[in-house]
Structures are given as structure tokens and as C-alpha cells.
């Protein structure tokens, strides 16, 4: 191992130790998360400045940083399925039936789909404001390879219908879905858990002893799973440090400058949609500033990890402990939000790409017919993103193929994909929290005492101090 790599790892270890001392001193969870974020930005920037973009030393160092960063994400992925199962079954048992399940599901999905439609409009508006177009963009070797890869996947996308997208959510083999083998596994497990919960409540009167035993078992399982969640969430500041160091040190800033217009338009659209989320929260009679402060650690993790699915455990905990949303609603919103109606990936991104590519196809992006068709396709396809592999790239594939646009042009943005994807993921997660907040408030189940409590947010099981 090169001496430079050893030095980088030594510094990284020292930063981890510093974060540990903050935890030992009971510094609030939120402050430690932001400390990890800030240290990652500074350390990653210094590595980039000293070694230069694309350095082999940085690449080797990142391999070791990933033990902490990717390792943390994997631990979060480990607890998603158990958390979703026990939480949803427990929630249905408390409801003593499935009468409210339809309301919770319908409201959550409805908010996600409507906000995705709004996000598409926002993406279109910012693209037109900046006059974005794919004309004149140059393609290097990486962009060409990316375009060829997208065209290879096009056949699988074109074979999908809306009916097939919906069928992807059904758990033909729930035990296989518990392994996370499919991109729609989380929703499939949600559906399976709903069946278990409803079946259990169905025997409550006929076999009360059996029901009582099962209810006790679920209670014990939930207590154990929540303890595991607590243990994993304690590692958040370290995971954020590693993930942010990797992003900053591995970015190509020359490419970012070359595509500055797209980057600025993308983040303009993302921030506009964040503002719309807060406006929705305000319309519910909730304080949007307090809401934003409480979800910032969650958004920070989503931003650095670029994974809506991995954010589910922290998403659920944030909704329940910080926003006063019941555990069952929080789980429905977080689970659905990780695969359906993603505001950033399924709304803003494909809309912006379509508007950019339209002029190259001789289509006026301001044409009302084109815009109505685009929004309709985006709204429908927001159900199918996860069903065909997940992420903004496949959302774009669905939309562009439906419009009969060349998908290879999407490969021109590969160099700045990570930077934009960070913001998109944070918006996706914000959308799921908004869905949970709307559903909980409209059903009259929001605990306002929890929401109005201004104590420092604590998601790692420790006593937070000011």
C-alpha cells in the first residue's frame, strides 16, 4: 500500500475518532450528522486539490473509505425488510382490522403521484427558463458507452405496459422478495405484511388465544428490530463522512463547469419543489420551518447516500419521533415513497431531459400538446420506475422511449450524474415525508406535542443535550 494512501486513511481514521468523541460527549445527533457532512466536504476537497481529479491514490483511498460508507448503507438495507414487516403488521393489529389501510395507502400514493406531476411541471419550467437543449453537447468515450448501454436496456423498457408495472408490485414469492431480489421487493413485502395483519385480526374473535400469542410475538419482534435500527442509526455521522468524502474527492469539476447551466437549472427545480413541499406542510397548519429543521438530518443522509431505499429506516424514525406521525403511516409513506412517485427521479429529471431533446427532434418544447403528453407519461410512468431497475436513468428511459426520443442522448450527462442525483434523492425522500405528513394530518393522527417539541432531534437512542 502506498504511503500516501496510508496517510489518507490515517487522517480519515482521525476524523472518525473525532466524531466518536462528539458522540461520547452527547453532542446532539443533528449536529454530529452535519459535522460528518462538513468534514467530508473539506477532506474530500483537500484530496481533490492535492492529488488531482482521477488520481489512482484517491481511487485506492476511496476503496477503503467505502468500508465505512457502503458498509453503513448495507447495514441500513439489512434492516429495511424486517422494519417494514413488523411495523406494518403491528400497525394493522392496533387498528384491529384493515379498514384504515386503504385510506392510508390511497392518501400516501395519491400525494406522491400528484407531487410528481407538479415536479414535472417545475422541471419543464426551469428547462425552458434556462433554454436547455441537447443540441451542441459533445460526447466523449464515457458518454458514448453510456448511450450504448441505455439503448441496450431500451428493449426491456419498451415491453412494459402500465398493467405490467402494477403487476411488478405483487409478491408472487414473498420469501424471495424478503431477500430484496427485485426493485419492487419493498412494496411487495408491504403488501404481504398487509395480508398477514388483516388475516391475524380476522381470527381475533374466533381464536383470541392464538391472536394474543401472535400479537405478543409481533410486539417482541418489533422491539428487537427497533433496537437494531437504533444501533445502525448511531453510525449515521460516520457514514455521511465517508460518503461525502467519496463524492467530493471523486468529482470531475471541469465537467461540472461545462454543464453548469444544466446543474443550475436542475438545482433550481429541486429547490423550487422543496419549497412546494414546505408550502403543502404550511397548508396543513404545520410550521414549515420547524418541519424543515427536523428532517434536515434525513435529507442530509439521503443527499450523501443517493439511496431512497436505504433512507427508509431513518425516514420512518424521523416521521415518528420528530414529526409525530404514527409508525404505521410513516412506514407506508416511506416504503411507497422509495419506489412510487419519486419527485426528483421520476418527475423533474425525465421532464428536463425530454424538453432538452425535443428541439433535436424538430419539436417545439413550448407546444401545449407536447407538454400535456409529457406530463401524462411522467405521471403514469412514476409507478414503473422501480419495477424496471429503479433510479432516474430508467425513469428517463421510460419517458423518452414513450415519446419515441433517442435515449442515447441521456448519456451525455453521465459526468455530472452523481452531483444531480444527490439532490434528486433528497427530494424523493422529502416527497415521502410530505406524503406521510399529509396522510397523518388529514386522518387526525398527528401528535402535535411531538411535532411542536423543539428539543434536539435524537435518532440514535441517546439522551440528546442542548
- CB pairs under 8 A, 24+ apart, for 76-79? 76/232, 76/310, 76/311, 76/312, 76/313, 76/314, 77/180, 77/309, 77/310, 78/232, 79/225, 79/228, 79/229, 79/232, 79/313
416 grid coordinates? 455530472
How many CB atoms lie under 10 A from the CB of residue 439? Answer: 26
Distance CA 59, CA 56 (A): 5
Residues 178/189, Cβ–Cβ less than 8 Å: yes
Res 460: pLDDT: 60
Distance CA 180, CA 172 (A): 13
401 grid coordinates? 422511449
Residues 127/348, Cβ–Cβ less than 8 Å: no
Domains of the chain, each with CATH number or no CATH:
3-452 (1.10.3860.10)
* CA distances from residue 134 to 259, 352, 398, 411, 416 in whole angstroms, order as listed: 11, 11, 18, 11, 15
Res 134: pLDDT: 75
| Maximum Cα interatomic distance, the chain, rounded to a whole number of Å | 72
Which sign, positive or negative, has the C-alpha torsion 262, 267, 268, 273?
positive
Segments of the chain scoring below 70 in pLDDT: 96-99, 135-162, 254-255, 258, 384-391, 408-412, 414-415, 459-466
Phi and psi torsions of 441, nearest 5°: -70, -45
Res 205: pLDDT: 84
* CA distances from residue 341 to 138, 316, 348 in whole angstroms, order as listed: 32, 18, 11
Amino acid at each position: 500500500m502506498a504511503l500516501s494512501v496510508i496517510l489518507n486513511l490515517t487522517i480519515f481514521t482521525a476524523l472518525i475518532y473525532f466524531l466518536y468523541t462528539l458522540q461520547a460527549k452527547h453532542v446532539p445527533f443533528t449536529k454530529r450528522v452535519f459535522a460528518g457532512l462538513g468534514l467530508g466536504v473539506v477532506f474530500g476537497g483537500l484530496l481533490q486539490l492535492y492529488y488531482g481529479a482521477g488520481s489512482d491514490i484517491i481511487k485506492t483511498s476511496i476503496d477503503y473509505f467505502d468500508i465505512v460508507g457502503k458498509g453503513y448503507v448495507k447495514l441500513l438495507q439489512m434492516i429495511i425488510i424486517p422494519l417494514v414487516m413488523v411495523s406494518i403488521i403491528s400497525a394493522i393489529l392496533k387498528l384491529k382490522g384493515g379498514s384504515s389501510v386503504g385510506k392510508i395507502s390511497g392518501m400516501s400514493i395519491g400525494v406522491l403521484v400528484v407531487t410528481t406531476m407538479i415536479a414535472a411541471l417545475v422541471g419543464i419550467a426551469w428547462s425552458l427558463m434556462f433554454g436547455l437543449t441537447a443540441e451542441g453537447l459533445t460526447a466523449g468515450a464515457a458518454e458514448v458507452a453510456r448511450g450504448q448501454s441505455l439503448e441496450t436496456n431500451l428493449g426491456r423498457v419498451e415491453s412494459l405496459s402500465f398493467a405490467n408495472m402494477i403487476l411488478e408490485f405483487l409478491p408472487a414469492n414473498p420469501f424471495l422478495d424478503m431477500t430484496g431480489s427485485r426493485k419492487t421487493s419493498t412494496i411487495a413485502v408491504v403488501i404481504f405484511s398487509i395480508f398477514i395483519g388483516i388475516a391475524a385480526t380476522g381470527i381475533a374473535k374466533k381464536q383470541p388465544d392464538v391472536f394474543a400469542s401472535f400479537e405478543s410475538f409481533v410486539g417482541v419482534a418489533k422491539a428487537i428490530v427497533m433496537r437494531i435500527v437504533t444501533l445502525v442509526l448511531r453510525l449515521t455521522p460516520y457514514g455521511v463522512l465517508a460518503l461525502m468524502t467519496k463524492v467530493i474527492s471523486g468529482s470531475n469539476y471541469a465537467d461540472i463547469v461545462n454543464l453548469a447551466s444544466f446543474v443550475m437549472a436542475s438545482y433550481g427545480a429541486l429547490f423550487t419543489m422543496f419549497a412546494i413541499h414546505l408550502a403543502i406542510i404550511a397548508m396543513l397548519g404545520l410550521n414549515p420551518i420547524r418541519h424543515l429543521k427536523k428532517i434536515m438530518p434525513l435529507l442530509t443522509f439521503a443527499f450523501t447516500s443517493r439511496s431512497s431505499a436505504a433512507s427508509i429506516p431513518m425516514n420512518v424514525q424521523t416521521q415518528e419521533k420528530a414529526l409525530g406521525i404514527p409508525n404505521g403511516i410513516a412506514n407506508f409513506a416511506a416504503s411507497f415513497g422509495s419506489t412510487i412517485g419519486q419527485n426528483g427521479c421520476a418527475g423533474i429529471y425525465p421532464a428536463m431531459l425530454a424538453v432538452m431533446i425535443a428541439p433535436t427532434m424538430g419539436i417545439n418544447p413550448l407546444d401545449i400538446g407536447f407538454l400535456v403528453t409529457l406530463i401524462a407519461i411522467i405521471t403514469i410512468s412514476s409507478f414503473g420506475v422501480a419495477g424496471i431497475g429503479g433510479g432516474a436513468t430508467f425513469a428517463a428511459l421510460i419517458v423518452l422511449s414513450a415519446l419515441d426520443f433517442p435515449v442515447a442522448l441521456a448519456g451525455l450527462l453521465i459526468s455530472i450524474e452523481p452531483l444531480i442525483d444527490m439532490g434528486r434523492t433528497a427530494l424523493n425522500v422529502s416527497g415521502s415525508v410530505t406524503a406521510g405528513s399529509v396522510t397523518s394530518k388529514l386522518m387526525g393522527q398527528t401528535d402535535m406535542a411531538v411535532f411542536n417539541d423543539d428539543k434536539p432531534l435524537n435518532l440514535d437512542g441517546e439522551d440528546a443535550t442542548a
